Each structure stands twice: as C-alpha cells, then as structure tokens.
Structure 1
C-alpha cells in the first residue's frame, strides 16, 4: 500500500448521509457510507477537510451544509491563513471547509480542490513512522505537529494532526469514547493503527 484509496463513514442512516453529502458539498462517489450502530460519544478523533479556491466558495458550501441540517461549530471567519468554517453533519461527522486565499480571484465556483481526512493522533511522529512502515510516502511534515502523505491517485488525502490540536481547531472538546465511525481503505491487508483507526483491504491479498 502506498496511499489511501477511499474513506468509509459509518453512519446510522446511509441514505440520509448520502443526501447530505450531495446537497451540502456536491460529493458523490468520493466518500463511501455504511450503516452502523456502533456507540460513539464526543470527538471521534478525525475531521473531513475540504479545500476550495476562495472565500466565496467556503461561504457557499458552509451555507448549504447548514441548510441541509448541519450544526455550526465555527462560523466562517477570516484569519491570517485564509478563510474557513466548521460544521457537524447530522450523522456526526465533522467537516471543515477552508481556503488559503485571502480574496476571490475569479468566478466563484463550488468546486472542491482537495479532500483530506485529518486523523487526530496522540503522537504524530510515532504515527508517521507507523504509516511509513505500511508503505505510505510522506509529502509534507512539520515535526511532531503535522504530517501529510502523498495521495497518489486517491480522491482523498491522509494527514495526521495532534488530537488535542485538531479538536481545538474544529471547536470541540478532545474527549470522546467508542467507535471512530470511520474506516480507511487501501492495500491488501486490514490493520488498526496506534490510535485505533481501522484500515480495510482494498483488494484481497495474493494467494500464497
């Protein structure tokens, strides 16, 4: 395995979650959905992040997410790094929409430039070593703070962030128990990472 192939969100109602993803963000095949009743309370330890071209796109996507039933965690605001806002979907998944652009430079579109799943981990350096051992290639790294992996041909990029820092970034308490309610798919073997995030094989392992 050298990159994540897809992300599966475990939700109580896959049809409702699919309608939300489509209506709010225009996502269709990029995220998979699966029925699950596994208990989960508080912060699930991950965030789905959408990178877009400009402030107007951020505002548009966050607005439609709220209209589709999401709860606002952080309103769209301007900061030194750009624009961004955070919402929690009806199924409990936290979505962050952001851009590094300070202003719009052309016609406003709702096109998503990049989808990133940010895993909140206890030790970024240790988790980075684990994933490198699984065959992922580091694309960007900032010590024990943040690591991003090469996404290859995947529609979703994988990144690691300190759990408490990630929770603070999206405006929630870092406390949480139960299932992460997410599975990452890639490679030929299933495994669980040091923080309990489950990976499922994308293709069967070759016969011995």
Structure 2
C-alpha cells in the first residue's frame, strides 16, 4: 500500500525509509559506503546510570564496561564521563521506529516513570502516523514513532525497533547532503532543504538531516545554534579512516584532534565524527 509522506514529518520519512531499506541496499550492490554511524557518544555525569536508563526503558543490552547500550542491533549509545554534560538541545534527535502505536505508548510511559521529560505525548498524527517525544535524563531527545494510527496486532512485550535514525539539525540539508555524499554515502530520500536521509549500513542507525529550527519545533524544544556536544562513532579500517579524513577535509569539513586517541573530523555544521580503527 502506498504511504503519503509529509516532508515536515521526520517520523514518516524514517518509517517509510525503513520499509525500503533492503531495496536501497540492493541497488547499491548490497554495500553501503561512507561514515555509517555505528554509535553515538554522549557526555554525562554518571555513565553507568545513563546506560541503565536505556536498559530499563528499551530493554537494550549493556555492553563493554556497562556504559554503552546496544539498541537491538541498530547502533549503540556510548556514555562518557564529563564535567559538563548536555545542558541544551544537541541538535540531534534519535528516532526509534516501533511496529505498533501501543508500543510507542508503553516505551513512552516507561521513560516517564524513570525520569524522562515528556516533550510531546504519544498520539495520533496526520497521515496515519503515531508518535511522541521525550528528553532522557542524559539530555538526549528521542522520538518514538509507528506508521500505524492503531494497533493491527499484538504489541510485543519487549518492543524492538524496526529502525533507529539520527536526525541532524543543520543549516541547509542540501549542503549537508553534498558533504556526506562526497564521503561516499548514498542518498535515499531527498526533499531538498526540508529533509534528506541516507542509506544505512547493516547494524547501524540511519543518518538524516533537516533544518535545525524545524527539527527543534517538531520535537518540542528550543532551538540551539551552538555546536553539538555529542559525537558520532564510525568503526572502520586504517586505510578507510585515512580516506575518510582526507575526503572530509576536501569537502569542507575539519580534521580534529580527539582526547580519546581516535581520529576525528567535523562536518560543516560542526557535528563531530570519531573514526575508530579496527
């Protein structure tokens, strides 16, 4: 069945893109190139407590030293100790696409019970979607969404995402698209300066972009023009890391030093990428 898509509704774009994931990979020979976001690194006062929130709310597995959560195979969130945790909207929204509307309600309720700030209660939206937003205790803003207005089956007792996406609030999505395609990413859904996303690699989140003010309004927070405090993590080979850093510098980004020892670059909007060699 065809789905109507509103380009000012990032939950609709993410859900629609998830349904075309395998087809897009097939067109690209099954491979996705470029800096796939394997994880998101977030500065917090208490990494273990931040990670436990997601273990409780999302049923996510704790990995490594217990300060990283695995979002059911759709990427990770890593928490690092910092004197200055997130204090403002980081211009990134994590969209967590679920199957049933009642799953959206259940996860929203669990988040609220464990200290999250509900920004927009979960409810039916125009054109058949169901969504809500919250700010986690660590400061990350999440959007939970389903492409259904009502359940058409039994909700899972432990809901797992169809897809996870990271939406960047940028100055101009078309300029952001030019930068990331220069690094090797493949555009999937393109609505010009309203919304653009890229084909995800298996086991990673989908990268998306939309105007910062529109993104902030959609999730119910004040916009911020300051540099984001979160960082994206990409794991790759040493040779590919060298290629990415050179391509980023040529395309208008900036190669940066990083205290963790990883190689790093920033895109033209200031979003940092940590390139970890394996």
TM-score relative to the length of structure 2: 0.69
Name the structure 2 match of 1:181.
Answer: 229
Shift of 1:147: 0.9
1:24-103 equivalences in 2 (<5 Å): 24-28=57-61, 29=70, 30-38=76-84, 40-81=86-127, 82-103=129-150
SS in 2 for 1:112: coil
Q: How many pairs were matched up?
A: 203
Which deviates further from its counterpart, 5-14 or 102-111?
5-14
Task: Quote the Cα distance in structure 1 between the aligned partners of 2:58 and 2:184.
Answer: 31
Q: Which structure shows the higher helix fraction?
A: 2
Q: Which structure shows the higher strand fraction?
A: 1
Aligned pair partner of 1:116 in 137, 150, 165: 165
* Contact 2:233–2:275 under 8 Å retained in 1: yes
CA RMSD in angstroms comes to: 1.6
Unmatched 5+ stretches in structure 2: 1-32, 62-69, 71-75, 246-263
Unmatched 5+ stretches in structure 1: none
Name the structure 1 match of 2:12.
Answer: none
Name the structure 2 match of 1:145.
Answer: 194
Task: Quote the Cα distance in structure 1 between the aligned partners of 2:110 and 2:85.
Answer: 28
SS in 2 for 1:201: strand
Task: Quote the Cα distance in structure 1 between the aligned partners of 2:179 and 2:84.
Answer: 26
In 2 relative to 1, CA 106–75 (structure 1 residues): closer, same or farther, beyond 3 Å?
same
Shift of 1:171: 0.4
Shift of 1:42: 2.7
Task: Quote the Cα distance in structure 1 between the aligned partners of 2:225 and 2:45.
Answer: 18
Structure possessing the higher radius of gyration over alpha carbons = 2
TM-score relative to the length of structure 1: 0.91
Name the structure 2 match of 1:104.
Answer: 151
* Contact 1:71–1:87 under 8 Å retained in 2: yes
Cα deviation per residue 1:34-89 (whole Å; 9 max; x = unaligned)?
22234654321111110000110100000000011101111111111311111111
Name the structure 1 match of 2:50.
Answer: 17
Structure with the larger RCO, 1 or 2 (CA within 8 Å, 6+ apart): 1
